[in-house]
Amino acid sequence: MATDWLGSVVSIDCGLTLGVYQGEVSAVDHASQTISLRQPYHNGVRCPVPEVTFSAMDIKELKFLDIQNTANRLGSVQGAAAEASFLTPGRPDQTNRATQPYVTSSSSQFGTAPITILRRAPAGSSNSRVPTQKKNSMKNGGPGGFMRQKDDECFGDGTDEDLDTDFDFEGNLALFDKAAVFSQIDGTSSHTNRSQQHSAQGQNRPLTYRHDENILEGKQVTYRQITVPQHGGIEYCTDSGLVVPSIPYELHKRLLAAAERRGLSVERRLETTGVCSCQMALTLLGGPNRLTPKNIHQRPTVVILCGPHIQGAQGISCGRHLANHEVEVILFLPNFVKVQESVSSEVNLYSRTSGKQVASIRDLPGTPVDLVINCLDCHENPLLREQSWYQSAADWANSNRAPVLSIDPAVSEQRQNIEAKWTLCLGLPLPLAETESRVYLCDIGIPKLVFQEVGISYHSPFGCKFVIPLHPV
pLDDT digits (tens, 9 = 90+) for 89-132: 344 343 333 333 333 333 333 333 333 333 334 444 444 444 44
Terminal Cα distance for the chain, rounded: 114
List of residues 6+ apart from 117 with CB closer than 8 A? 48, 132, 134, 160, 163
Q: What percent of the chain has pLDDT over 70?
A: 72
The pLDDT-based confidence of 459 (bands split at 50, 70, 90) is very high
Between strands 45-46 and 34-42, the pairing is: antiparallel
Question: Which amino acid, one-letter code, is at 72?
Answer: N
- Other C-beta atoms lying within 10 Å of the C-beta of residue 38: 17
Q: What is the pLDDT of residue 62?
A: 85
Which residue would you say has higher pLDDT here, 39 or 373?
373
Average pLDDT over residues 189-193: 46
Identify the CA nearest to 55 among candidates 133, 128, 108.
Answer: 128
Let me know: does 282 contact 300? Beta carbons within 8 Å.
Answer: no
The pLDDT-based confidence of 367 (bands split at 50, 70, 90) is very high
Cα–Cα distance, 464 to 294 (Å, whole number): 30
The neighbouring-strand residues paired with 453 are none
Identify the CA nearest to 303 among candidates 290, 289, 316.
Answer: 316
Q: What is the pLDDT of residue 187?
A: 63
Give the pLDDT confidence of 290-316 residue by residue, as tens digits: 888 887 778 899 999 999 999 999 999
Confidence (pTM): 0.56
The pLDDT-based confidence of 152 (bands split at 50, 70, 90) is low
Cα–Cα distance, 281 to 275 (Å, whole number): 10
